[in-house]
Amino acid sequence: MTKPVLNVDARQFLSDLHIDGSWREGANGERFNVLNPATEDVLASVASAEIADADAALDAAEAAFGDWASRTPRARSEILRKCWELMTARLDEFATLITLENGKAGNDARGEATYAAEFFRWFAEEAVRADGLITRAPASGARIIVQHKPAGIAVLVTPWNYPAAMGTRKIAPALAAGCPVIIKPASETPLTMLALMPLLEEAGVPKGLVSVLPSKKSGALVDHLLHDPRVRVVSFTGSTQVGRKLLHSAADQVLKPAMELGGNAPLIVFDDADLDTAVEGAMLAKMRNLGEACTAANRFYVHESVAGKFAEKLTAAMAALKLGNGLDPDVDVGPLVNADTRDKVAAFVRDAIDKGAELLLGGTAPAGPGFFYPPTVLTNVPETADCVDDEIFGPVAALQTFSDTEDVIRRANDTEYGLVAYVFTEDMKRGLQVCERLDYGMVGLNRGLVSDPAAPFGGTKQSGLGREGGHEGMLEFMETQYISASW
Protein backbone atom coordinates (compact mmCIF):
# COMPACT_ATOMS: atom_id res chain seq x y z
CA MET A 1 0.00 0.00 0.00
CA THR A 2 1.32 3.43 -0.97
CA LYS A 3 1.08 6.53 1.19
CA PRO A 4 -1.27 9.43 0.35
CA VAL A 5 1.44 11.77 -0.92
CA LEU A 6 0.97 14.06 -3.93
CA ASN A 7 4.58 15.05 -4.49
CA VAL A 8 5.97 15.35 -8.00
CA ASP A 9 9.53 14.81 -6.82
CA ALA A 10 8.85 11.82 -4.58
CA ARG A 11 6.77 10.12 -7.31
CA GLN A 12 4.62 8.41 -4.70
CA PHE A 13 1.02 7.68 -5.58
CA LEU A 14 -1.93 5.80 -4.18
CA SER A 15 -2.10 2.82 -6.48
CA ASP A 16 -4.17 0.08 -4.85
CA LEU A 17 -7.91 -0.51 -4.93
CA HIS A 18 -9.98 1.43 -2.40
CA ILE A 19 -12.75 -0.77 -0.94
CA ASP A 20 -14.61 -0.43 2.36
CA GLY A 21 -12.31 2.32 3.57
CA SER A 22 -9.12 0.32 3.05
CA TRP A 23 -6.41 -0.12 0.42
CA ARG A 24 -5.90 -3.55 -1.06
CA GLU A 25 -4.42 -5.46 -3.95
CA GLY A 26 -6.74 -6.84 -6.59
CA ALA A 27 -8.06 -10.35 -6.06
CA ASN A 28 -5.66 -11.80 -8.67
CA GLY A 29 -2.75 -9.53 -7.81
CA GLU A 30 -2.62 -8.10 -11.34
CA ARG A 31 -1.47 -4.53 -11.99
CA PHE A 32 -1.16 -2.16 -14.94
CA ASN A 33 1.03 0.84 -15.69
CA VAL A 34 -0.07 4.47 -15.85
CA LEU A 35 2.08 6.62 -18.14
CA ASN A 36 3.02 10.28 -18.09
CA PRO A 37 1.87 11.36 -21.59
CA ALA A 38 4.51 14.11 -21.75
CA THR A 39 7.45 11.74 -21.25
CA GLU A 40 5.97 8.25 -21.80
CA ASP A 41 7.57 7.26 -18.49
CA VAL A 42 5.71 4.98 -16.08
CA LEU A 43 4.15 7.00 -13.25
CA ALA A 44 2.78 4.12 -11.24
CA SER A 45 1.78 0.48 -11.28
CA VAL A 46 -1.90 0.31 -10.32
CA ALA A 47 -3.89 -2.62 -8.97
CA SER A 48 -6.38 -4.06 -11.48
CA ALA A 49 -9.79 -4.97 -10.06
CA GLU A 50 -11.46 -8.31 -10.72
CA ILE A 51 -15.01 -9.61 -10.28
CA ALA A 52 -14.29 -10.60 -6.67
CA ASP A 53 -13.22 -7.02 -5.94
CA ALA A 54 -16.46 -5.72 -7.45
CA ASP A 55 -18.42 -8.02 -5.15
CA ALA A 56 -16.45 -6.79 -2.13
CA ALA A 57 -17.23 -3.19 -3.10
CA LEU A 58 -20.93 -4.05 -3.51
CA ASP A 59 -21.01 -5.68 -0.07
CA ALA A 60 -19.39 -2.60 1.47
CA ALA A 61 -21.81 -0.24 -0.32
CA GLU A 62 -24.80 -2.30 0.78
CA ALA A 63 -23.63 -2.20 4.40
CA ALA A 64 -23.06 1.57 4.29
CA PHE A 65 -26.28 2.48 2.48
CA GLY A 66 -28.82 2.32 5.30
CA ASP A 67 -27.00 4.58 7.73
CA TRP A 68 -26.09 7.15 5.09
CA ALA A 69 -29.58 7.27 3.59
CA SER A 70 -31.12 7.78 7.03
CA ARG A 71 -28.89 10.72 7.93
CA THR A 72 -30.48 14.13 7.78
CA PRO A 73 -29.88 16.16 4.64
CA ARG A 74 -28.00 18.69 6.76
CA ALA A 75 -25.63 16.02 8.07
CA ARG A 76 -24.79 14.91 4.52
CA SER A 77 -24.50 18.55 3.48
CA GLU A 78 -21.91 19.37 6.14
CA ILE A 79 -19.67 16.50 5.06
CA LEU A 80 -19.85 17.57 1.42
CA ARG A 81 -19.03 21.13 2.45
CA LYS A 82 -15.98 19.81 4.26
CA CYS A 83 -14.95 17.94 1.09
CA TRP A 84 -15.01 21.25 -0.77
CA GLU A 85 -12.94 22.99 1.89
CA LEU A 86 -10.31 20.26 1.93
CA MET A 87 -10.04 20.00 -1.83
CA THR A 88 -9.86 23.76 -2.22
CA ALA A 89 -6.94 23.81 0.19
CA ARG A 90 -5.12 21.23 -1.98
CA LEU A 91 -5.83 22.51 -5.47
CA ASP A 92 -2.18 22.74 -6.46
CA GLU A 93 -1.52 19.14 -5.41
CA PHE A 94 -4.46 17.83 -7.41
CA ALA A 95 -3.57 20.01 -10.38
CA THR A 96 -0.05 18.54 -10.42
CA LEU A 97 -1.40 15.01 -10.34
CA ILE A 98 -3.88 15.78 -13.13
CA THR A 99 -1.04 17.12 -15.29
CA LEU A 100 1.14 14.10 -14.57
CA GLU A 101 -1.38 11.47 -15.63
CA ASN A 102 -3.51 13.41 -18.14
CA GLY A 103 -0.95 15.79 -19.64
CA LYS A 104 -2.91 19.04 -19.60
CA ALA A 105 -1.05 22.28 -18.93
CA GLY A 106 -0.79 23.57 -15.37
CA ASN A 107 -3.33 26.39 -15.66
CA ASP A 108 -5.82 24.06 -17.32
CA ALA A 109 -5.24 21.42 -14.63
CA ARG A 110 -5.75 23.94 -11.84
CA GLY A 111 -8.94 25.07 -13.52
CA GLU A 112 -10.18 21.49 -13.52
CA ALA A 113 -9.29 21.01 -9.87
CA THR A 114 -11.19 24.18 -8.94
CA TYR A 115 -14.17 23.08 -11.04
CA ALA A 116 -14.07 19.60 -9.48
CA ALA A 117 -14.05 20.97 -5.94
CA GLU A 118 -16.99 23.23 -6.70
CA PHE A 119 -19.29 20.24 -7.21
CA PHE A 120 -18.88 19.41 -3.52
CA ARG A 121 -19.92 22.92 -2.52
CA TRP A 122 -22.86 23.06 -4.93
CA PHE A 123 -24.28 19.71 -3.89
CA ALA A 124 -23.68 20.49 -0.23
CA GLU A 125 -26.22 23.23 -0.82
CA GLU A 126 -28.54 21.06 -2.91
CA ALA A 127 -28.54 18.19 -0.39
CA VAL A 128 -31.05 20.10 1.76
CA ARG A 129 -33.31 20.93 -1.20
CA ALA A 130 -34.81 17.63 -2.31
CA ASP A 131 -38.20 19.29 -2.08
CA GLY A 132 -41.37 17.23 -2.14
CA LEU A 133 -45.03 18.13 -2.43
CA ILE A 134 -48.28 17.80 -0.53
CA THR A 135 -51.45 18.66 -2.39
CA ARG A 136 -55.03 17.41 -2.77
CA ALA A 137 -56.35 15.37 -5.67
CA PRO A 138 -58.99 17.48 -7.46
CA ALA A 139 -61.46 14.63 -8.03
CA SER A 140 -61.05 12.22 -5.12
CA GLY A 141 -59.98 14.65 -2.44
CA ALA A 142 -57.13 12.33 -1.35
CA ARG A 143 -53.88 13.88 -0.26
CA ILE A 144 -51.05 13.51 -2.77
CA ILE A 145 -47.70 13.26 -0.99
CA VAL A 146 -44.63 13.27 -3.21
CA GLN A 147 -41.11 12.73 -1.87
CA HIS A 148 -37.68 11.90 -3.27
CA LYS A 149 -35.72 8.98 -1.84
CA PRO A 150 -32.16 7.74 -2.51
CA ALA A 151 -32.28 5.23 -5.36
CA GLY A 152 -29.56 2.89 -4.09
CA ILE A 153 -26.05 1.86 -5.08
CA ALA A 154 -24.71 3.81 -8.06
CA VAL A 155 -21.98 2.65 -10.44
CA LEU A 156 -19.96 5.57 -11.79
CA VAL A 157 -17.82 5.13 -14.90
CA THR A 158 -15.57 8.12 -15.56
CA PRO A 159 -13.35 9.14 -18.52
CA TRP A 160 -9.70 10.14 -18.75
CA ASN A 161 -10.13 13.69 -20.02
CA TYR A 162 -11.24 15.18 -16.67
CA PRO A 163 -9.93 12.74 -14.06
CA ALA A 164 -11.03 14.89 -11.11
CA ALA A 165 -14.11 16.75 -12.30
CA MET A 166 -15.92 13.83 -13.93
CA GLY A 167 -15.62 11.98 -10.64
CA THR A 168 -16.79 14.73 -8.32
CA ARG A 169 -19.61 15.67 -10.71
CA LYS A 170 -21.05 12.22 -9.99
CA ILE A 171 -19.85 11.51 -6.43
CA ALA A 172 -21.17 14.75 -4.95
CA PRO A 173 -24.81 14.48 -6.13
CA ALA A 174 -24.93 10.77 -5.31
CA LEU A 175 -23.78 11.38 -1.73
CA ALA A 176 -26.11 14.37 -1.44
CA ALA A 177 -29.00 12.13 -2.49
CA GLY A 178 -28.04 9.48 0.06
CA CYS A 179 -26.50 6.87 -2.27
CA PRO A 180 -23.27 4.85 -2.00
CA VAL A 181 -21.08 4.72 -5.12
CA ILE A 182 -18.59 2.44 -6.84
CA ILE A 183 -16.28 4.26 -9.24
CA LYS A 184 -14.50 2.73 -12.22
CA PRO A 185 -12.03 5.41 -13.39
CA ALA A 186 -10.40 5.35 -16.80
CA SER A 187 -7.30 3.18 -16.96
CA GLU A 188 -5.24 6.08 -18.34
CA THR A 189 -5.98 8.31 -15.35
CA PRO A 190 -6.93 6.44 -12.14
CA LEU A 191 -4.50 8.20 -9.80
CA THR A 192 -6.48 11.41 -9.26
CA MET A 193 -9.59 9.56 -8.16
CA LEU A 194 -7.58 7.32 -5.83
CA ALA A 195 -5.93 10.41 -4.34
CA LEU A 196 -9.37 11.83 -3.55
CA MET A 197 -10.22 8.98 -1.17
CA PRO A 198 -8.14 10.12 1.87
CA LEU A 199 -9.74 13.54 1.50
CA LEU A 200 -13.26 12.07 1.62
CA GLU A 201 -12.29 10.04 4.68
CA GLU A 202 -10.92 13.15 6.40
CA ALA A 203 -14.15 14.99 5.60
CA GLY A 204 -16.19 12.30 7.37
CA VAL A 205 -17.50 10.17 4.50
CA PRO A 206 -18.18 6.74 6.10
CA LYS A 207 -16.17 3.72 4.99
CA GLY A 208 -17.78 1.60 2.32
CA LEU A 209 -19.73 4.51 0.90
CA VAL A 210 -17.22 5.22 -1.88
CA SER A 211 -15.08 2.54 -3.53
CA VAL A 212 -12.64 3.00 -6.44
CA LEU A 213 -11.93 0.08 -8.77
CA PRO A 214 -9.34 0.77 -11.46
CA SER A 215 -9.17 -2.13 -13.90
CA LYS A 216 -7.75 -3.19 -17.22
CA LYS A 217 -10.78 -5.46 -17.62
CA SER A 218 -13.27 -2.61 -17.57
CA GLY A 219 -15.95 -4.15 -19.76
CA ALA A 220 -16.34 -7.36 -17.78
CA LEU A 221 -16.07 -5.59 -14.44
CA VAL A 222 -18.71 -2.95 -15.19
CA ASP A 223 -21.02 -5.48 -16.83
CA HIS A 224 -20.87 -7.61 -13.66
CA LEU A 225 -21.69 -4.61 -11.50
CA LEU A 226 -24.64 -3.62 -13.68
CA HIS A 227 -26.14 -7.09 -13.41
CA ASP A 228 -26.11 -7.15 -9.60
CA PRO A 229 -29.65 -6.49 -8.28
CA ARG A 230 -28.30 -4.21 -5.56
CA VAL A 231 -27.19 -1.64 -8.14
CA ARG A 232 -29.91 0.85 -9.08
CA VAL A 233 -28.12 3.66 -10.97
CA VAL A 234 -25.41 3.80 -13.62
CA SER A 235 -23.76 7.12 -14.49
CA PHE A 236 -21.34 7.22 -17.39
CA THR A 237 -19.34 9.89 -19.17
CA GLY A 238 -17.62 8.83 -22.38
CA SER A 239 -18.18 7.91 -25.99
CA THR A 240 -21.60 7.24 -27.48
CA GLN A 241 -20.38 3.84 -28.66
CA VAL A 242 -19.56 2.69 -25.12
CA GLY A 243 -22.69 4.38 -23.78
CA ARG A 244 -24.87 2.28 -26.06
CA LYS A 245 -23.28 -0.90 -24.68
CA LEU A 246 -23.81 0.20 -21.09
CA LEU A 247 -27.44 1.04 -21.84
CA HIS A 248 -27.94 -2.50 -23.13
CA SER A 249 -26.51 -3.88 -19.89
CA ALA A 250 -28.51 -1.43 -17.79
CA ALA A 251 -31.72 -2.53 -19.51
CA ASP A 252 -31.41 -6.05 -18.05
CA GLN A 253 -31.82 -4.65 -14.53
CA VAL A 254 -33.90 -1.61 -15.61
CA LEU A 255 -31.36 0.71 -13.99
CA LYS A 256 -31.65 4.47 -13.87
CA PRO A 257 -29.15 5.67 -16.52
CA ALA A 258 -27.37 9.01 -16.55
CA MET A 259 -25.37 9.16 -19.77
CA GLU A 260 -23.18 12.06 -20.85
CA LEU A 261 -21.93 10.93 -24.24
CA GLY A 262 -20.14 12.25 -27.31
CA GLY A 263 -20.46 15.59 -29.03
CA ASN A 264 -19.86 17.28 -32.37
CA ALA A 265 -20.20 20.90 -31.33
CA PRO A 266 -20.80 23.58 -33.97
CA LEU A 267 -19.47 27.08 -33.36
CA ILE A 268 -21.31 29.70 -35.44
CA VAL A 269 -19.87 33.20 -36.00
CA PHE A 270 -22.33 35.62 -37.61
CA ASP A 271 -21.34 38.63 -39.69
CA ASP A 272 -22.12 41.08 -36.87
CA ALA A 273 -20.17 39.22 -34.18
CA ASP A 274 -17.50 41.00 -32.19
CA LEU A 275 -14.56 39.09 -33.65
CA ASP A 276 -12.33 39.55 -30.62
CA THR A 277 -15.09 38.09 -28.42
CA ALA A 278 -15.66 35.32 -30.94
CA VAL A 279 -11.97 34.39 -31.10
CA GLU A 280 -11.67 34.47 -27.31
CA GLY A 281 -14.72 32.23 -27.04
CA ALA A 282 -13.46 29.95 -29.80
CA MET A 283 -10.14 29.51 -28.01
CA LEU A 284 -11.96 28.45 -24.86
CA ALA A 285 -14.37 26.18 -26.70
CA LYS A 286 -11.60 24.58 -28.78
CA MET A 287 -8.46 24.57 -26.62
CA ARG A 288 -9.78 23.93 -23.11
CA ASN A 289 -8.23 20.60 -22.17
CA LEU A 290 -6.40 20.59 -25.56
CA GLY A 291 -9.70 19.96 -27.31
CA GLU A 292 -10.03 16.59 -25.52
CA ALA A 293 -13.56 17.37 -24.37
CA CYS A 294 -17.03 16.41 -25.51
CA THR A 295 -17.85 20.13 -25.31
CA ALA A 296 -14.99 21.13 -27.62
CA ALA A 297 -15.93 23.14 -30.70
CA ASN A 298 -15.60 20.67 -33.57
CA ARG A 299 -17.11 22.45 -36.57
CA PHE A 300 -16.51 26.19 -37.07
CA TYR A 301 -19.09 27.91 -39.26
CA VAL A 302 -18.01 31.50 -39.98
CA HIS A 303 -20.01 33.95 -42.09
CA GLU A 304 -18.25 34.41 -45.41
CA SER A 305 -17.99 38.19 -44.96
CA VAL A 306 -15.82 37.85 -41.84
CA ALA A 307 -14.26 34.43 -42.46
CA GLY A 308 -10.87 35.75 -43.55
CA LYS A 309 -10.47 38.13 -40.62
CA PHE A 310 -11.66 35.51 -38.12
CA ALA A 311 -9.24 32.92 -39.50
CA GLU A 312 -6.38 35.42 -39.26
CA LYS A 313 -7.15 36.30 -35.63
CA LEU A 314 -7.75 32.70 -34.59
CA THR A 315 -4.53 31.52 -36.23
CA ALA A 316 -2.55 34.24 -34.43
CA ALA A 317 -4.09 33.22 -31.09
CA MET A 318 -3.34 29.54 -31.71
CA ALA A 319 0.22 30.30 -32.84
CA ALA A 320 0.90 32.16 -29.58
CA LEU A 321 0.36 28.99 -27.52
CA LYS A 322 3.47 27.22 -26.25
CA LEU A 323 3.59 23.43 -26.60
CA GLY A 324 5.39 21.33 -24.00
CA ASN A 325 5.30 19.48 -20.70
CA GLY A 326 2.38 20.78 -18.64
CA LEU A 327 4.56 20.96 -15.52
CA ASP A 328 6.40 23.88 -17.14
CA PRO A 329 4.56 27.03 -15.96
CA ASP A 330 5.15 28.71 -19.34
CA VAL A 331 3.44 25.94 -21.30
CA ASP A 332 -0.10 26.47 -22.63
CA VAL A 333 -0.61 23.17 -24.48
CA GLY A 334 0.47 19.80 -23.13
CA PRO A 335 0.43 16.38 -24.80
CA LEU A 336 -2.61 14.39 -25.76
CA VAL A 337 -3.41 11.52 -23.43
CA ASN A 338 -1.96 8.64 -25.47
CA ALA A 339 -0.53 7.64 -28.82
CA ASP A 340 -3.87 6.46 -30.24
CA THR A 341 -5.48 9.84 -29.58
CA ARG A 342 -2.55 11.70 -31.16
CA ASP A 343 -2.56 9.44 -34.21
CA LYS A 344 -6.31 9.82 -34.65
CA VAL A 345 -6.00 13.61 -34.59
CA ALA A 346 -3.19 13.48 -37.15
CA ALA A 347 -5.32 11.25 -39.39
CA PHE A 348 -8.20 13.76 -39.28
CA VAL A 349 -5.85 16.54 -40.40
CA ARG A 350 -4.35 14.48 -43.24
CA ASP A 351 -7.80 13.46 -44.44
CA ALA A 352 -9.08 17.07 -44.47
CA ILE A 353 -6.03 18.30 -46.41
CA ASP A 354 -6.30 15.44 -48.89
CA LYS A 355 -9.91 16.47 -49.53
CA GLY A 356 -9.07 20.12 -50.17
CA ALA A 357 -8.69 21.90 -46.82
CA GLU A 358 -5.97 24.52 -46.46
CA LEU A 359 -3.51 24.26 -43.58
CA LEU A 360 -2.94 27.62 -41.88
CA LEU A 361 -1.04 26.43 -38.81
CA GLY A 362 0.45 23.27 -37.29
CA GLY A 363 -0.37 19.91 -38.76
CA THR A 364 2.81 18.02 -37.87
CA ALA A 365 3.53 16.20 -34.63
CA PRO A 366 6.97 17.06 -33.19
CA ALA A 367 9.66 14.42 -32.92
CA GLY A 368 10.71 13.01 -29.57
CA PRO A 369 8.94 11.45 -26.59
CA GLY A 370 5.45 12.42 -25.52
CA PHE A 371 2.10 12.35 -27.28
CA PHE A 372 2.26 15.92 -28.55
CA TYR A 373 0.29 17.50 -31.38
CA PRO A 374 0.52 21.23 -32.10
CA PRO A 375 -2.35 23.75 -32.24
CA THR A 376 -3.63 23.43 -35.81
CA VAL A 377 -5.93 25.55 -37.98
CA LEU A 378 -7.59 24.31 -41.16
CA THR A 379 -9.74 26.45 -43.44
CA ASN A 380 -12.04 25.65 -46.38
CA VAL A 381 -12.72 22.27 -44.80
CA PRO A 382 -15.10 20.32 -47.07
CA GLU A 383 -18.26 18.65 -45.80
CA THR A 384 -16.80 15.31 -46.84
CA ALA A 385 -13.90 15.55 -44.38
CA ASP A 386 -14.02 12.94 -41.62
CA CYS A 387 -13.60 15.59 -38.90
CA VAL A 388 -16.96 17.13 -39.85
CA ASP A 389 -18.79 13.98 -38.75
CA ASP A 390 -16.57 12.74 -35.89
CA GLU A 391 -15.13 14.31 -32.75
CA ILE A 392 -11.57 15.47 -33.39
CA PHE A 393 -10.73 15.38 -29.65
CA GLY A 394 -7.58 17.40 -30.16
CA PRO A 395 -6.23 20.94 -30.76
CA VAL A 396 -7.49 21.30 -34.34
CA ALA A 397 -9.85 24.06 -35.49
CA ALA A 398 -11.68 23.09 -38.71
CA LEU A 399 -13.14 26.21 -40.37
CA GLN A 400 -15.99 26.37 -42.89
CA THR A 401 -18.06 29.29 -44.17
CA PHE A 402 -21.76 30.08 -44.56
CA SER A 403 -23.88 32.87 -46.00
CA ASP A 404 -27.45 31.99 -45.01
CA THR A 405 -28.88 31.59 -41.48
CA GLU A 406 -31.27 28.80 -42.43
CA ASP A 407 -28.44 26.89 -44.07
CA VAL A 408 -26.09 27.14 -41.09
CA ILE A 409 -28.80 26.01 -38.66
CA ARG A 410 -29.46 23.00 -40.89
CA ARG A 411 -25.77 22.16 -41.10
CA ALA A 412 -25.24 22.62 -37.39
CA ASN A 413 -28.12 20.24 -36.59
CA ASP A 414 -27.07 17.68 -39.21
CA THR A 415 -25.42 15.26 -36.78
CA GLU A 416 -26.50 12.44 -34.50
CA TYR A 417 -25.02 14.35 -31.57
CA GLY A 418 -26.64 17.13 -29.59
CA LEU A 419 -24.49 18.06 -26.61
CA VAL A 420 -23.47 21.69 -27.01
CA ALA A 421 -23.33 24.46 -29.61
CA TYR A 422 -21.84 27.96 -29.63
CA VAL A 423 -23.25 31.11 -31.24
CA PHE A 424 -21.59 34.52 -31.61
CA THR A 425 -23.61 37.57 -32.65
CA GLU A 426 -24.24 41.08 -31.35
CA ASP A 427 -27.93 40.79 -32.30
CA MET A 428 -29.41 39.19 -29.18
CA LYS A 429 -32.81 38.66 -30.78
CA ARG A 430 -31.26 36.68 -33.61
CA GLY A 431 -28.91 34.94 -31.21
CA LEU A 432 -31.70 33.67 -28.97
CA GLN A 433 -33.85 32.67 -31.94
CA VAL A 434 -30.97 30.63 -33.38
CA CYS A 435 -30.21 29.06 -29.98
CA GLU A 436 -33.79 27.85 -29.64
CA ARG A 437 -33.64 26.19 -33.05
CA LEU A 438 -30.40 24.36 -32.39
CA ASP A 439 -31.07 20.76 -31.33
CA TYR A 440 -28.60 20.75 -28.45
CA GLY A 441 -28.91 20.36 -24.71
CA MET A 442 -26.68 23.37 -24.10
CA VAL A 443 -25.77 26.49 -26.06
CA GLY A 444 -23.11 29.09 -25.34
CA LEU A 445 -24.27 32.49 -26.61
CA ASN A 446 -21.23 34.77 -26.97
CA ARG A 447 -19.45 32.40 -24.58
CA GLY A 448 -16.99 29.60 -25.16
CA LEU A 449 -17.58 27.92 -21.80
CA VAL A 450 -20.89 26.43 -20.70
CA SER A 451 -19.88 24.00 -17.93
CA ASP A 452 -21.02 25.12 -14.48
CA PRO A 453 -21.88 23.03 -11.40
CA ALA A 454 -25.03 25.13 -10.94
CA ALA A 455 -26.35 24.35 -14.45
CA PRO A 456 -27.89 21.14 -15.85
CA PHE A 457 -25.22 19.61 -18.09
CA GLY A 458 -26.35 17.16 -20.77
CA GLY A 459 -27.37 16.65 -24.36
CA THR A 460 -30.06 15.58 -26.79
CA LYS A 461 -30.15 12.84 -29.41
CA GLN A 462 -27.18 10.46 -29.11
CA SER A 463 -25.28 12.74 -26.75
CA GLY A 464 -26.92 11.20 -23.74
CA LEU A 465 -29.71 10.89 -21.20
CA GLY A 466 -30.28 12.84 -18.02
CA ARG A 467 -28.43 15.82 -16.60
CA GLU A 468 -25.45 16.41 -14.34
CA GLY A 469 -25.05 19.53 -12.23
CA GLY A 470 -27.82 21.91 -11.25
CA HIS A 471 -30.70 20.63 -9.14
CA GLU A 472 -31.34 17.97 -11.77
CA GLY A 473 -27.99 16.31 -11.07
CA MET A 474 -29.05 15.14 -7.62
CA LEU A 475 -32.44 13.88 -8.84
CA GLU A 476 -30.63 11.42 -11.16
CA PHE A 477 -29.73 9.50 -7.98
CA MET A 478 -33.22 9.61 -6.43
CA GLU A 479 -36.53 7.84 -6.92
CA THR A 480 -39.81 9.73 -6.72
CA GLN A 481 -42.35 8.18 -4.37
CA TYR A 482 -46.03 9.14 -4.32
CA ILE A 483 -48.29 8.35 -1.35
CA SER A 484 -52.04 8.66 -1.65
CA ALA A 485 -53.44 9.37 1.82
CA SER A 486 -56.70 10.17 3.51
CA TRP A 487 -57.13 11.68 6.98
| DSSP-derived 3-state class of residue 207 | coil
Neighbours of 72 (CB within 10 A): 10
Q: Provide the β-strand partners of residue 284.
A: none
Is there a contact between 95 and 112 (Cβ–Cβ < 8 Å)? yes
Closest CA to 434 of 452, 411, 454, 416: 411
The Cα 257–Cα 267 span in angstroms is: 29
Task: Say how far apart CA 246 and CA 310 lie, in whole Å.
Answer: 41
d(CA 106, CA 93): 11
Q: Which of 83, 101, 126, 294 is catalytic?
A: 294
Q: What DSSP state is assigned to residue 291?
A: G
Taking residue 309's Cβ as centre, other Cβ atoms within 10 Å add up to 12
Secondary structure of 227-271 as H, E, C letters: CCCCEEEEEEECCHHHHHHHHHHHHHHCCEEEEECCCCEEEEECC
For the question of residue 479 being annotated catalytic, the response is no
Catalytic residue among 50, 260, 468, 476: 260
**Closest by alpha carbon to 372, among 404, 416, 326, 328?**
326
Is 294 known to be catalytic?
Answer: yes
Nearest one of 294, 230, 217 to 259, comparing CA atoms: 294
Give the residue numbers annotated as catalytic, written as ranges: 260, 294
